[in-house]
Chain A
């Protein structure tokens, strides 16, 4: 029982990452009709916003410490962050410690700008091109983006820890009447889950309750008609692209403490997030979220030893297996619309 609760927690957490990425992907697809293979790269850039802010805050000047030596036997250069000098050691250290949450503020304008540039500069010209062309050009873009990140930050993962207060874990087991240590869960992962729920809720509320959102939803349903109404839908779509990029970006920022960001993390998520979107059904926002959580939870269950004992290696293929079963039994995924991307 405790093992199952634990895996549900894990699944919700994995699921919230999948759902957030798939949400942005499906927004872009639903509004613009563009298959964006660079979406994973946006997630990755988000994570590197956290890295960058962390590095910026930790920018240091060197002080020579004659009592110690470095690897070549010269006096050791001790790095002292500028923020220590500016704000005092305590405040400075707190700033660095909180760099990941702070990076959310930093990342939103950056990601919106990246989204705008991408849409205006490139994607716009591909609305009328076949989906295969869109896939290729955005795939090319994804490679270029990740290689740029690589040439700045290298190929190795870069540790980007969460604030001190969120490190460590919480013992749910005791609360629920199990033995201590039966169900422990890291604080930051709980934060991540809550944050995802918040973002997903905010996106849905935005689309539901604002005029802007209503026009966009109408545009998702029938682009031509909305265009005929004399509404400048293109401009709104650009904004949607920026929004989707921002969603992917903040998802990346918050993910950075969970797994140290590296330049190919976008590609690692890309295929999975596509599977999630398609399982959810092309063009359906709730479908993407639902599929994200469902696949996350099933993946967590499949990695349980009890399950692996019955079917060895099931955790390697579970996502794909579920995707195949769902697509074969439900022609348009969980909640897909008819006629979208079926040609």
Chain B
């Protein structure tokens, strides 16, 4: 008579035949009948894809969704299998996860932490999602990661580059494959030194929010270490669309490098403005003036058009990588959708496979089991070379790409070229590095 659980799909089979059922007190709706939150009972398992579908990052979100769709197809045995064929772990069989068919629900983060949490909650409460993944900003990633920790759900972060996600805001239930600001800085700094010399004066323009701050801190520290001087760090309002009044004083400051700690629309506009002001044609201190965009995204680079040519930055992954795994992914993505995947798509695809693989290896959907399977997991064959999911902070360590805006693009996708693949050893840091200090993973929560 009394049978209660929150998982939707299992429900049909277990519900009472008629009349009233009853109720058991549950915490965050994981009932005592289930071993953990949203335990899948039927023949399928539901993943929650929480991506920005509206707002400035909608296109990036759309690309993430495509990657998820592809990943689900491959997990269920459809398509050509993509990176499942190159993945070093062979636990995935192409028969779903743990034999259950993979289904998914989608939500819109709107790139707002409030909205993202609401949408994640609805997927957990209403649709019985067992894992939440996606997103295109660190604020959202941290907010949703916090929610998943409380709810007892695994969170596989999408595009989030702030040090905080696996630093002071790290959570036992949250995992990040994407690289971070520290890694960008560590990879970029030597290249910058090689190309522009050790005697440079840098001027930072920084988007005035969490991610901007951590990137500014990371880049400034890394470049200062190799001898650069930081002339000024200027914060720009997030809502700014015209950066002229921030860019105009740069030349007067005596700086000969401009670092744009901007992303998305901010990056497009500030870079466009900087090029308009002719900064790149100037000689300062007897050197050619240079601009650096530490975090590149191909989708955003497209918005800046010709202005990106020759500008250095870093990226998590790029479709032009020639390793077998990347090629396999580009092939199945490209054949399905007609264009190459973005770095966001790559991360989201890989995160889904990693999650599924961890389930298989752990033999359960229990978040704590999955957490154990992912912690310290060494793998290869998902692009970026041999990779480690570090147990101490749930950050992936892998090679980082330093890229440059391509001078002669052959198509609208061919905007960046890889300058250097920075080996993993060079971007590693201790768990208690000061830029990442302050938080604790806590205990895993199964709901």
Contact = CB atoms under 8 A, between A and B. Distances in A.
Asked if A and B touch directly (CB within 8 angstroms), the answer is: yes
Interface of A: 2-3, 6-7, 9-11, 13-14, 17, 68, 70-72, 76-79, 150, 154-161, 167-169, 181-182, 184-186, 188-189, 258-260, 262, 264-265, 268-269, 299-300, 303-305, 308, 313, 315-316
B410 A68 contact: yes
Contacts of B302: 156, 159
Contacts of B244: 10, 13-14, 189, 300
Interface string B291-327: 0000000011011111100000000000110000000
B245 A7 contact: yes
Interface stretch (B117-125, B274-282, B375-383): B274-282
A276 B38 CA distance: 52
A14 B281 CA distance: 24
Contacts of B269: 157, 259-260
A260 B304 contact: yes
Point out which of B56, B62, B252 has the most chain A C-beta atoms below 10 A from its C-beta: B252
Contact of A70 (B57, B282, B411): B411
Contact of A258 (B242, B300, B335): B242
Contact of A10 (B248, B281, B411): B248
B237 A315 contact: yes
B268 interface: yes
A8 to B, nearest CB: 10
Interface string B232-251: 10111101011011101101
A161 B54 CA distance: 26
Contact of B272 (A159, A181, A265): A159
Interface string B181-209: 00000000000000000000000000010
A14 B208 contact: no
Nearest to A2: B252
A305 B245 contact: no
A259 B273 contact: yes
Interface size class of chain B, counting residues whose CB lies under 8 Å from the partner chain:
35 or more
Contact of B277 (A11, A14, A184, A316): A184
Contacts of B225: none
Given A181-B284, A264-B56, A305-B249, 20 more contacts: A10-B248, A71-B330, A71-B339, A156-B300, A157-B269, A159-B268, A159-B303, A169-B278, A182-B252, A184-B278, A185-B248, A185-B277, A186-B278, A258-B276, A259-B242, A260-B303, A260-B304, A262-B265, A305-B232, A313-B235
B281 A264 contact: no
A72 B278 contact: no
B296 to A, nearest CB: 14
A72 B335 contact: yes
B305 A161 contact: yes
A13 B272 CA distance: 16
B241 A268 contact: yes
B55 interface: yes
A68 B239 CA distance: 42
A173 to B, nearest CB: 9
A312 to B, nearest CB: 8
Interface string B339-356: 110000000000000000
Given A168-B281, A188-B276, A155 B58 contact: yes
Contacts of B208: 313, 316
B99 interface: no
Contact of A260 (B268, B330, B339): B268
A186 B276 contact: yes
B178 to A, nearest CB: 19
Contact of B252 (A3, A10, A70, A155): A3
Contact of A167 (B234, B276, B319): B276
Contacts of B413: 71
Interface in B51-65: 54-59, 62
A309 B277 CA distance: 24
A157 B249 contact: no
A13 B281 CA distance: 22
B74 interface: no
A258 B413 CA distance: 23
B234 A305 contact: yes
Nearest to B248: A6
Interface of B: 54-59, 62, 208, 232, 234-237, 239, 241-242, 244-246, 248-249, 251-252, 265, 268-269, 272-273, 276-278, 281-282, 284, 299-300, 302-307, 319-320, 330-331, 334-335, 339-340, 410-411, 413-414
A161 B306 contact: yes
A262 B303 contact: yes
A313 to B, nearest CB: 8
B308 to A, nearest CB: 9
A177 to B, nearest CB: 15
A123 B302 CA distance: 37
Nearest to B289: A181
Contacts of B234: 305, 308
A306 B410 CA distance: 45
A189 B249 CA distance: 16
Contacts of A160: 305
A300 B240 CA distance: 12
B59 A155 contact: yes
18 contacts: A3-B252, A6-B248, A10-B248, A71-B334, A71-B411, A72-B331, A157-B303, A157-B304, A159-B307, A169-B277, A184-B248, A185-B248, A260-B305, A265-B241, A269-B241, A303-B236, A308-B235, A316-B208
Contacts of A150: 58
A97 to B, nearest CB: 12
A260 B273 CA distance: 10
Contacts of A14: 242, 244-245
Contacts of B57: 155
B223 to A, nearest CB: 20
A13 B248 CA distance: 12
Nearest to A187: B276
A268 B242 CA distance: 11
Contacts of B284: 181
Contacts of A79: 411
B319 A71 contact: yes
B276 A159 contact: no
B414 to A, nearest CB: 8
Contacts of A258: 242, 272-273, 276
A241 B1 CA distance: 68
Contacts of A9: 248
A270 to B, nearest CB: 12
B320 A71 contact: yes
A289 B236 CA distance: 26
Nearest to A71: B340
Given A155-B55, A155-B59, A181-B252, A303 B276 contact: no
A235 to B, nearest CB: 37
B59 to A, nearest CB: 5
Nearest to A269: B241
